[in-house]
Structure 1
Amino acid sequence: MTLALIALWLAAERPPAAEAARAFVQANEAKLVRAYAEFLSIPNHASDRPNIRRNAEHIQKMFQAAGARTELIEAGGANPAVYGEVLAPGARRTLLFYAHYDGQPVIPERWADSGPYSPVLRTAPVEAGGRLLPLDQPRYEREWRLFARSASDDKVSIFALWAALSALREAGLRPRSNIKFFFEGEEEAGSPNLRALLEKAGDRLRGDVWLMCDGSVHQSRAQRIVLGARGVATVEIAVFGALRGLHSGHYGNWAQNPAMQLARLLASMTDGEGRVLIQGFYDDVIPLTESERRAVQEIPIVDGELKEELGLGSTQPFSGLLRESIYLPSLNVRGIESGGTGPRAANEVPPVARASLDLRLVKGVDGRKQAERVAAHIRAQGYHVIEGRDPTREERLRHGKIARVDIRPGYNALRTPLDLPIVQEILAVARAVRPPVYVEPSFGGSLPLVVFEEATKAPLVIVPISNHDDSQHTHNENIRLGNLWDGIELYAALLAM
């Protein structure tokens, strides 16, 4: 069979909605890049209420133009959620699509050339020497990347859904199912008001399945469909010394140094090889089923390539291969702060040292219980533990070692059964659009899936589209244009499912 015939055969097997989306993208690349850059230019940290509302209203207008009925759902002090719907006459089911429009905090000076809300186009990642290009181009290469906060996590999903809906509308293809959209503005802040927003939405969010549009494709660039996500809890730790900073020459080998104390405390929590030493940390883990284990074994091993890409001479051996490690709970030090370094360093014994931990949770492990285990471990190291406040002068004099431990239990992990008929249908559509497709029982990252399941009683399936090397949650976040184009096609096929 010739290459031309193979191409025609593959096109014939692809869903018409995916082909319509491809034609739409090819005819509108420059307009899509410019429209996405406009969306990305709106700051979106969850605490920035005025700009968060600007984002929500911008999304409303986008989806109204694509034929959806929209409204903002508000509950108490929550950031608004954007609700949209496209109802199909005679539809026998409802598909629910979720994404979030808020982004991680930014440190602007760490971004190359432009700020996090000034989108730029490059030929490649910054670390690969990608050259800056004007946004407007006569044609666009799939390897080019658009850089901005939330370019991949997770405005890309909202934008791709809008483009997919617009493509279907332009091609005269109507969804056969009722379509509902729910876009959150607090996911990166831990979704503190998600349950209240879902309750406020009520029966509007009753449906047959949630398609959670977040995350990245497999590191091999193959599409993956993910049936769950780890949960997350956070623990903030502060260790205290003197009431004020002290001259390190006069007091450096007399007064306790909180930075040294905190370093020893954190080091006591693991064996340095990936195993967490906190008592009971792995006790409640529910293991994978046999079908889930088989699915994991079919996922390509990419550890060697990733070590090369990331410049890692070694990884933590306890958890094994990357594809297996995410089914164990983890403890990560996401930040340490005490005194100053470089030009800001002073010859001082700092008065306080702080660390921020995230605890990734797997099925069976409760966030509050896991965080309490961390607090118990700190007590076992001889610390007097307080929560929600700094120590009083009297407590400082009474206790030689004091730690403030603030717990946010977050949300727990969830895994959707692999054998559900709706899961198999979604897999069939994805494989018709973007083969090969790998099935993963869970993401390594976290999404508040358990809140959705408890509030709406519908199963959840994650359909990610961004590139694995997108630098999400850090500086120079980016989306590869090929991933954006492919995502629009996949979402169009799922909207028409």
Structure 2
Amino acid sequence: MNRFNAFIICLLFYISAIAQDATLMNKGVRSTIEELKEFISLPNDAIHPKDMDQNLTWLKEKFDQRGFHTKLISTSGIPLFFAQLTNEKKDLPTILIYMHFDGQSIDRSKWNQQDPYKVVLKEKNGDQWKDLEWNVLNKEIDPEWRLYGRSTSDDKGPIVMLLNAIDMLKADGKQIPFHVKVILDGEEEKSSKPLPQAVKDNREMLEADILMINDGPVHPSNKPTLVYGCRGITSMSVTTFGPINPQHSGHFGNYAPNPGFRLFHLLGSMKDENGKVLINGYYDGIELDAVTQEVLRSVPDDIASLHERLEIHTPETVGAFYQESLQYPSLNIRGIESGWVGDKARTIVPEKATAEIDLRLVVETDGTRLKSLVKDHIRSKGYFIVDRMPTKEERMTYPLIAMVKEGSVTDAFRTDLNDPYGQWMEKVLLNTFDEDVVKIRTMGGTVPIAPFINTLGIPAVILPLVNPDNNQHSPNENLRLGQINYGLQVFYSLLSTKMN
């Protein structure tokens, strides 16, 4: 056999292998769609425990079918679902995968379909999304088509992708070269309050070398994405006071103190005009060295598109650019209330004004400490602080009173970008998609499982799978079919590649 003929044979073999892979992947996409339609049909708002029981039954059946050993972990709320695949070789590393099967509450009147728990297939037609018949999937699948329904992307879609990737690995005769554990949360959208204690009670069962979290969207560039940390969150409510009851603004304007102005002056003293917090010590402990700056600047954010989407001219300058801004704790006014507005506006001096504040946390900042700094700042402005409505005696004694109520703290987490397991995941993504991987040091949002991560004492990396424009938490949540293909490839590659 000459070299040319040998080359042709090798080329044909390579093309045949690609065709087989494509056939297997298309079959996996179709199977994922059918199974996801079934899973979505089970309502999953955690305020209805009976609905969640149906979801747990479905999960047990599906994971059992794939050979997992499954168990329900009792908590003070909705049970956690646990599944495990154990390799015959005991001395292999263990990956723990976290996802959640609950979803945000729905307002049917806001959805462009009759039932958000009944998946609808759509394609874009101009600026609108048009319904498609399901039989179009029997032909070539358009990756831009979307599945619309609650939790298609957040977070039932990735769960079903994992299940079907397991099927594909078995069909292809692939062995998983490590132990796999899966924990699925039924109250993530309700802050996962029972999770930390449940993890403490079942720490030995959940032991692993790396925690992989499959939640959230890929970077807007649609490149493979790894997220090494997320901000935490806490909250405060600050109320200032005027007269004991609303008063006529003609009779008492210029005399009865206006709580709205008091609140605005107080809030205004907390930040400068560029958005930087002026409270002493708020940014203490945060240092961004040259290596970190290089990682932050490597994220391919399209700032012009971001500003156009937000319709803003100039951003705040806590950081010099978007990714840098996420490395600092924020102080955000999320709502203000005083008196009446709009058609109900009245000519009165209001009796009180309230601001709801949230504080996004980073690893270097403790939420309880930051709240103490905010309260110290309020005191420095002459305010007497109470944690309930002030008494008449207090009102007559102190010229300035602020009622401050504090919310609970969800910690931030961050994994070293040089962590070997994170590098393993990055290498797998790079080899699978032949694209540079977007590495995000800290994302802006909060995944309420930092206590879970800290209890287990293991590195954690978020590997998002769904499209950036998925409308998670909102009406018309959707999943791009191309992301199903992406998710299947991710799980297939990771679960068939040896760890470092």
Q: TM-score, normalised by structure 2?
A: 0.84
Equivalences for residues 224-235 of structure 1 within 5 A: 224-235=225-236
Give the deviation of 1:19 after TM superposition: 8.0
Q: Which residue of 1 aligns with 2:159?
A: 158
Q: Which residue of 1 aligns with 2:429?
A: 430
Give the SS at the match of 2:444. Answer: strand
Give the deviation of 1:187 after TM superposition: 2.9
Question: Does 2:195 match 1:197?
Answer: no
**Amino acid of the structure 2 residue aligned with 1:278:** I
The Cα offsets for residues 113-170 of structure 1, whole Å up to 9 and x where unpaired, read as 5565555444359xx8332314624134322333444433333332322332233344
* Contact 1:109-1:115 within 8 A present in 2 as well: no
* Contact 1:371-1:409 within 8 A present in 2 as well: no
Q: Which residue of 1 aligns with 2:186?
A: 185
Give the deviation of 1:40 after TM superposition: 3.5
Q: How many residues align?
A: 482
Q: Which moved more, 1:317-326 or 1:448-457?
A: 448-457
Give the deviation of 1:368 after TM superposition: 0.9
Pair 1:381–1:303, CA change in 2 (3 A): same
Give the deviation of 1:196 after TM superposition: 0.7
- 5+ residue gaps, structure 2, are 1-6
* Contact 1:326-1:444 within 8 A present in 2 as well: yes
Q: Which residue of 2 aligns with 1:403?
A: 402
Distance 2:152 2:240 in 1: 37
**Amino acid of the structure 2 residue aligned with 1:354:** T
Q: Which residue of 2 aligns with 1:278?
A: 279
The Cα offsets for residues 226-279 of structure 1, whole Å up to 9 and x where unpaired, read as 222222222233444555555666666654444444444333322232211222
The Cα offsets for residues 6-65 of structure 1, whole Å up to 9 and x where unpaired, read as xx99x979x99x986x64552254553353244345444444433344433333333223
Distance 2:445 2:337 in 1: 24
Pair 1:28–1:464, CA change in 2 (3 A): closer
Q: Which residue of 1 aligns with 2:389?
A: 390
Q: Which residue of 2 aligns with 1:378?
A: 378
Q: Which moved more, 1:359-368 or 1:66-75?
A: 66-75
**Amino acid of the structure 2 residue aligned with 1:416:** T
- 5+ residue gaps, structure 1, are none
* Contact 2:221-2:301 within 8 A present in 1 as well: no
Distance 1:267 1:392 in 2: 27
Q: Which residue of 2 aligns with 1:133?
A: 131
Give the deviation of 1:303 after TM superposition: 0.7
Distance 2:37 2:188 in 1: 21
Pair 1:422–1:243, CA change in 2 (3 A): same
Give the deviation of 1:400 after TM superposition: 4.4
Give the deviation of 1:98 after TM superposition: 0.8
| Root mean square deviation, CA, Å | 3.4
Give the deviation of 1:317 after TM superposition: 3.0
Pair 1:95–1:246, CA change in 2 (3 A): same
Give the deviation of 1:364 after TM superposition: 1.3
Give the SS at the match of 2:445. Answer: strand
Distance 2:254 2:58 in 1: 58
Distance 1:333 1:145 in 2: 35
Equivalences for residues 248-327 of structure 1 within 5 A: 255-285=256-286, 287-327=287-327
Pair 1:95–1:265, CA change in 2 (3 A): same
Distance 1:19 1:425 in 2: 26
**Amino acid of the structure 2 residue aligned with 1:136:** W
Pair 1:146–1:259, CA change in 2 (3 A): farther
Q: Which residue of 1 aligns with 2:146?
A: 145
* Contact 1:34-1:135 within 8 A present in 2 as well: no
Distance 2:256 2:116 in 1: 42
Q: Which residue of 1 aligns with 2:479?
A: 479
Pair 1:242–1:205, CA change in 2 (3 A): same
Pair 1:235–1:466, CA change in 2 (3 A): farther
Q: Which moved more, 1:175-184 or 1:325-334?
A: 325-334
The Cα offsets for residues 381-422 of structure 1, whole Å up to 9 and x where unpaired, read as 3333223x4334444444444333222342333322223322
Distance 1:424 1:372 in 2: 38
Equivalences for residues 77-226 of structure 1 within 5 A: 77-91=76-90, 92-104=92-104, 109-112=109-112, 117=117, 119-124=119-124, 129-134=127-132, 136-139=134-137, 140-226=141-227
Give the SS at the match of 1:131. Answer: strand
Pair 1:343–1:56, CA change in 2 (3 A): farther
Pair 1:275–1:27, CA change in 2 (3 A): same
* Contact 2:231-2:413 within 8 A present in 1 as well: yes
* Contact 2:74-2:80 within 8 A present in 1 as well: yes
* Contact 1:66-1:169 within 8 A present in 2 as well: no
Distance 1:42 1:402 in 2: 49
Pair 1:184–1:136, CA change in 2 (3 A): same
Distance 1:181 1:390 in 2: 47
Distance 1:25 1:246 in 2: 69
Distance 2:124 2:340 in 1: 34
Give the SS at the match of 1:426. Answer: helix
Distance 2:208 2:72 in 1: 19
Equivalences for residues 330-409 of structure 1 within 5 A: 330-342=330-342, 350-387=350-387, 389-409=388-408
Give the SS at the match of 1:469. Answer: coil
Q: Which moved more, 1:229-238 or 1:164-173?
A: 164-173
Give the deviation of 1:366 after TM superposition: 0.8
Distance 1:138 1:382 in 2: 68
**Amino acid of the structure 1 residue aligned with 2:87:** A
**Amino acid of the structure 1 residue aligned with 2:134:** D
Distance 1:133 1:105 in 2: 23
Q: TM-score, normalised by structure 1?
A: 0.84
Give the SS at the match of 1:411. Answer: coil
Distance 1:407 1:480 in 2: 39
Pair 1:453–1:347, CA change in 2 (3 A): same
**Amino acid of the structure 2 residue aligned with 1:429:** V
Q: Which moved more, 1:342-351 or 1:376-385?
A: 342-351
* Contact 1:237-1:405 within 8 A present in 2 as well: yes
**Amino acid of the structure 2 residue aligned with 1:419:** N
* Contact 2:32-2:161 within 8 A present in 1 as well: no
Distance 2:121 2:352 in 1: 42
**Amino acid of the structure 2 residue aligned with 1:414:** F
Pair 1:334–1:82, CA change in 2 (3 A): farther
Distance 1:433 1:190 in 2: 34
Q: Which residue of 1 aligns with 2:3?
A: none
Give the deviation of 1:204 after TM superposition: 1.3
Question: Does 2:97 match 1:72?
Answer: no
Give the deviation of 1:335 after TM superposition: 3.1
Q: Which moved more, 1:319-328 or 1:476-485?
A: 476-485
* Contact 2:317-2:325 within 8 A present in 1 as well: no
